[in-house]
């Protein structure tokens, strides 16, 4: 199971360090991914199942791209896990599929683990599963789905940061469709809470969760990882 926390524009250097140290001290065995803001990156000394990644990057080693972060800066902190295609970057920051593909290919060339996010807006969801899948497959245009270090996160746009999670059946249906072509681990993201983690992790084809809001309190994120650890033991 993979349990990932996306800090978005939350936490600072001090609170990120405290968060990571708290999680590390629990000795969990699930795969844990933590995506703090760039400013909180540091050389953390962590076991192999805990990785600190970035929410974004500019697809260059270095250069003249005012305000951007390239791989020269990330390599200083041994970052090799990245988010690509998050809905907030697609819809709020206006990233096109071309920009997303450039980032994907650059991260792939750098042999990074990539959590690639896909998901439909509300108006598409209202048209039913065929429209949802057509929309999602378009988000795979130009993306190498056979990349070994790929993890796919299904994150319906209308469920992100809204408190409205997709239903168990809706998640199951989309993951089932994805599984036909995508062999990579599949995560669900969209208003996951401590109370819903157990049920979501029990969905067929669900290999974990990507969590924003509910994960920012370390005690909550810790409980989610504990649920994942317990599930593994059940099997
Ligand atoms: C996310 O940022 O990927 C996310 C799923 O956020 P939230 O849990 O707040 O919906």
Instruction: Transcribe 77-138 into DSSP letters.
Output: TT--EEEES-HIIIIIS---HHHHHHHHHHHHHTT-EEEEEE---HHHHTT-HHHHHHHHHH
Choose the weakest-confidence range: 19-23, 36-40, 152-156, 231-235. Answer: 231-235
What is the phi/psi pair of residue 124, to 5°?
Answer: -80, -40
Catalytic residue among 11, 86, 88, 95: 86
Task: Write down the pLDDT at residue 148.
Answer: 98
What's the confidence (pLDDT) of residue 110? 98
* Inter-residue contact 7 to 36 (CB < 8 Å): yes
The pLDDT of residue 235:
53
Number of Cβ within a 10 Å radius of residue 166: 24
pLDDT tens digits, residue range 37-82? 999 999 999 999 999 999 999 999 999 999 999 999 999 999 999 9
Minimum CA distance residue for ligand 1 atom 7: 212
* Residue 166 confidence (pLDDT): 87
Active site residue 86: yes
User: Residues 31, 88, 113, 155: which is the catalytic one?
Assistant: 155
Ligand 1 pocket, residues with Cβ under 6 angstroms: 6, 8, 155, 160-161, 189-192, 210-214
**Dist. CA 211 → ligand 1 center (Å):** 5
Q: Which residue minimizes the CA distance to atom 6 of ligand 1?
A: 212
Using CA atoms, how far apart are residues 76 and 41, in angstroms rounded to an integer? 10
Mutate to test the pocket of ligand 1, among 35, 160, 215, 220 (most ligand atoms within 8 A of CB): 160
What CA–CA distance (Å, rounded) separates 39 from 10? Answer: 11
Q: Yes or no: say if 26 and 56 are a contact pair by the CB < 8 Å rule.
A: no
Ordered strands of the 2-6 beta sheet: 50-52, 31-35, 2-6, 208-211, 186-189, 150-154, 113-118, 81-84
Q: Give the pLDDT confidence of 164-204 residue by residue, as tens digits.
A: 888 999 999 999 999 999 999 999 999 999 999 999 999 99
φ, ψ for residue 34, nearest 5 deg: -130, 125
Say which range, 102-111, 154-163, 211-220, has the weakest mean pLDDT: 154-163
Separation CA 118–CA 163 (nearest Å)? 18
Do 50 and 225 meet the contact criterion of CB atoms below 8 Å apart? no
CATH number at residue 179: 3.20.20.70
**Is pLDDT of 32 > 90?**
yes
Residue 219 is among the residues annotated as catalytic for this protein:
no
Q: 9 pLDDT exceeds 60?
A: yes
Q: What is the pLDDT of residues 131-175, one digit of tens each?
A: 999 999 999 999 999 999 999 999 999 999 888 888 999 999 999
- Which residue owns the Cα nearest ligand 1 atom 8? 212
Q: Please report which confidence band the pLDDT of residue 233 belongs to, taking 50, 70 and 90 as the band edges.
A: low
User: How many structural domains is the chain composed of?
Assistant: 1
Which range of residues forms the domain containing residue 157? 2-234
Going from the Cα of 73 to the center of ligand 1, the distance in angstroms, rounded, reads 26
Look at residue 7 in the predicted model and tell me its pLDDT. Answer: 98
The model's pTM is: 0.97
């Amino acid at each position: 199971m993979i349990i990932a926390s996306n800090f978005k524009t939350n936490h600072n250097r001090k609170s990120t360090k405290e968060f990571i140290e708290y999680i590390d001290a629990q000795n969990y065995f699930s795969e844990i991914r933590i995506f703090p803001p760039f400013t909180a990156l540091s050389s953390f000394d962590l076991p192999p199942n805990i990785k600190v990644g970035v929410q974004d990057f500019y697809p260059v080693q270095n250069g003249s791209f005012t305000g951007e972060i390239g791989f020269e800066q990330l390599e200083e902190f041994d970052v090799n896990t990245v988010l690509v295609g998050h809905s907030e970057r697609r819809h709020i920051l206006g990233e096109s599929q071309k920009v997303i593909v450039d980032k994907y290919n650059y991260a792939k060339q750098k042999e990074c683990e990539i959590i690639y996010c896909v998901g439909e807006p509300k108006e598409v969801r209202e048209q039913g599963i065929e429209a949802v899948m057509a929309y999602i497959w378009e988000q795979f245009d130009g993306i190498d789905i056979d990349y070994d270090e790929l993890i796919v996160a299904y994150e319906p746009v209308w469920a992100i940061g809204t408190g409205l999670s997709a239903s168990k059946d809706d998640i199951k249906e989309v993951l089932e469709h994805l599984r036909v072509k995508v062999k990579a681990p599949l995560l669900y993201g969209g208003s996951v809470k401590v109370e819903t983690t157990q049920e979501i992790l029990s969905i067929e084809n669900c290999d974990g969760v990507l969590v924003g809001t509910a994960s920012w309190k370390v005690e909550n994120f810790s409980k989610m990882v504990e649920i994942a650890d317990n599930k593994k033991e059940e099997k």
